């Protein structure tokens, strides 16, 4: 008889988004004229840059002609894109990453979810809390997390709380951990680590033999100096870190799908007998077995992100979202709310007012301002008492939503 992978039964239901929808629908039913503004979603709203669209069209035309048609491409991605990434995202910042350390994929979600497969099941996993849920749930599915308590805290994972009390800077773990997921700029808190703060983690990983899985999906939103765009800007990171990047949030590829993962050549992990294995080779083996590459037109479209026009256009979109973020921050201040993020990230993390939990604050904003955000408790136990707004809505809607919130007093 077929049996289920029982690890799947340990997953908590994705209660948060269905509960948000239920409450919003009920409110809309009772208030059919309500003009609800959704500021909870982490999806971009601006269209693809023109340079990207043109390259996309040209590549589709190539696929229509016998002479230029392409079938299966390299599973790791076409050299033209891997080289453009090595040159523009790394060499230009003085970081030495070669094209053959870069693996093109159809998303940082898949890569951050799949990467754990190449590591042993007995590895202890550490996650910051609150957290992008994919890191946790992919490890639950694999069997590394064990059962969860009522707060959704899995017994087999090490949680590194990031709250107001520690200025959202995770402390080094007291217990032994092997795989450490770090995401900076952070979703959901919108906070960042300085080079010095990140260097502490790199040093820790080097000393303890652990490995950092660094998600830099929001790197393009960094506005301030002194904040690393890549973990490889930190000395010694090549031996202890894998980096995930995406074209989703910098160039509007959430519906087009293109991302990449960097696995440096030096990165090695031992088997149970102590023999060392190249992580790049393991990831290459995994990808060539289970993945058949990103479509040619999409890779040409991603390549166009690095042209001068592409760069100018993506900068415009990021500036647009960050102007929204500025308006959100100023309005929250007027409303007397404490908040974090929104300076180097498109996320603003609000401390809920005294005596209000994440869901009570959700209901207040929905009822009194007709604005929808995401209760922080949905991102992990330490997210309780916080609330996430995103800068991804239109300028008009952001201004309208924030005028309404400014009028509330907390």
For residue 38, say if its preceding peptide bond is cis, omega within 30 degrees of 0. Answer: no
Closest distance to ligand PLP from the beta carbon of 244 (Å):
7
Annotated binding residue 135: no
Annotated binding residue 109: yes
Nearer to ligand PLP, 182 or 405 (CB): 182
Annotated binding residue 15: yes
Dig out the tokens for 10 from the structure. Answer: 């340990």
Nearer to ligand PLP, 108 or 202 (CB): 108
Report the distance separating Cα 126 and Cα 42, nearest Å. Answer: 24
Closest distance to ligand PLP from the beta carbon of 376 (Å):
15
**Residue number closest to ligand PLP, CB atom:** 107
Could you please report the per-residue DSSP string of 254-310?
TTT--EEEE--TT-EEE-TTS-EEEHHHHHHHHHHHH-----HHHHHHHHGGGSHHH
Closest distance to ligand PLP from the beta carbon of 237 (Å):
19
Annotated binding residue 72: yes
Nearer to ligand PLP, 112 or 116 (CB): 112
Annotated binding residue 339: no
Report the distance separating Cα 334 and Cα 284, nearest Å. Answer: 51
Report the Cα 391 to chain-centroid distance in Å: 15
Closest distance to ligand PLP from the beta carbon of 404 (Å):
26
Nearer to ligand PLP, 345 or 405 (CB): 345
Report the distance separating Cα 127 and Cα 157, nearest Å. Answer: 7
Closest distance to ligand PLP from the beta carbon of 114 (Å):
11
Report the distance separating Cα 285 and Cα 383, nearest Å. Answer: 37
Dig out the tokens for 344 from the structure. Answer: 């180097």
* Residues found near ligand PLP in the complex (CB under 6 A): 42, 107-109, 112, 132, 183, 187, 215, 217, 246, 248, 254, 259
User: Quick one: residue 94, left, alpha or beta (phi over 0 = left, psi -120 to 50 = alpha)?
Assistant: left
Nearer to ligand PLP, 215 or 303 (CB): 215
Residues of each annotated binding site for pyridoxal 5'-phosphate: 72, 108-109, 132, 187, 218, 246-248, 257, 292
């Amino acid at each position: 008889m077929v049996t289920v992978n029982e690890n799947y039964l340990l997953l908590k239901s994705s209660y948060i988004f269905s509960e948000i929808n239920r409450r919003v629908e009920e409110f809309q039913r009772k208030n059919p004229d309500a003009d609800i503004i959704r500021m909870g979603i982490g999806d971009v709203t601006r269209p693809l840059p023109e340079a990207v669209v043109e390259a996309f069209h040209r590549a589709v035309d190539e696929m229509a002609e016998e002479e230029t048609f392409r079938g299966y491409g390299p599973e790791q991605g076409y050299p033209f894109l891997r080289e453009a990434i090595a040159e523009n995202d790394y060499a230009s910042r003085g970081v030495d990453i070669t094209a053959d350390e870069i693996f093109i994929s159809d998303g940082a979600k898949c890569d951050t979810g799949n990467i754990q497969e190449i590591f042993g099941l007995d590895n202890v996993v550490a996650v910051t809390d609150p957290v992008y849920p994919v890191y946790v749930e992919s490890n639950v599915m694999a069997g590394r997390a064990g059962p969860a308590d009522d707060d959704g805290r899995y017994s087999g994972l090490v949680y590194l709380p990031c709250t107001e009390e520690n200025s959202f800077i995770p402390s080094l773990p007291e217990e032994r951990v092997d795989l450490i997921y770090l995401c900076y700029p952070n979703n959901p808190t919108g906070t960042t680590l300085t080079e010095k703060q990140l260097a502490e983690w790199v040093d820790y990983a080097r000393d303890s033999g652990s490995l950092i899985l660094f998600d830099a999906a929001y790197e393009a939103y960094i506005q301030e100096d002194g904040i690393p765009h890549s973990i490889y800007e930190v000395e010694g990171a090549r031996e202890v870190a894998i980096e995930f990047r995406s074209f989703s949030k910098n160039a509007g590829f959430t519906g087009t799908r293109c991302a990449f993962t960097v696995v440096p050549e030096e990165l090695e992990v031992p088997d149970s007998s102590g023999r060392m294995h190249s992580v790049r080779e393991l990831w290459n083996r995994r990808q060539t077995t289970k993945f058949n590459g990103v479509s040619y037109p999409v890779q040409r479209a991603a390549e166009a992100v690095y042209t001068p026009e592409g760069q100018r256009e993506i900068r415009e979109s990021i500036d647009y979202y960050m102007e929204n973020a500025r308006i959100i921050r100023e309005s929250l201040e007027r409303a007397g709310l404490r908040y974090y993020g929104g300076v180097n990230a498109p996320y603003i993390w609000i401390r809920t007012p005294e005596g209000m939990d994440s869901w009570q604050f959700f209901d207040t904003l929905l009822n009194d301002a007709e604005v929808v955000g995401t209760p922080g408790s949905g991102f992990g136990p330490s997210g309780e008492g916080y609330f996430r707004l995103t800068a991804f809505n239109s300028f008009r809607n952001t201004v309208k939503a924030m005028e309404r919130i400014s009028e509330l007093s907390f």
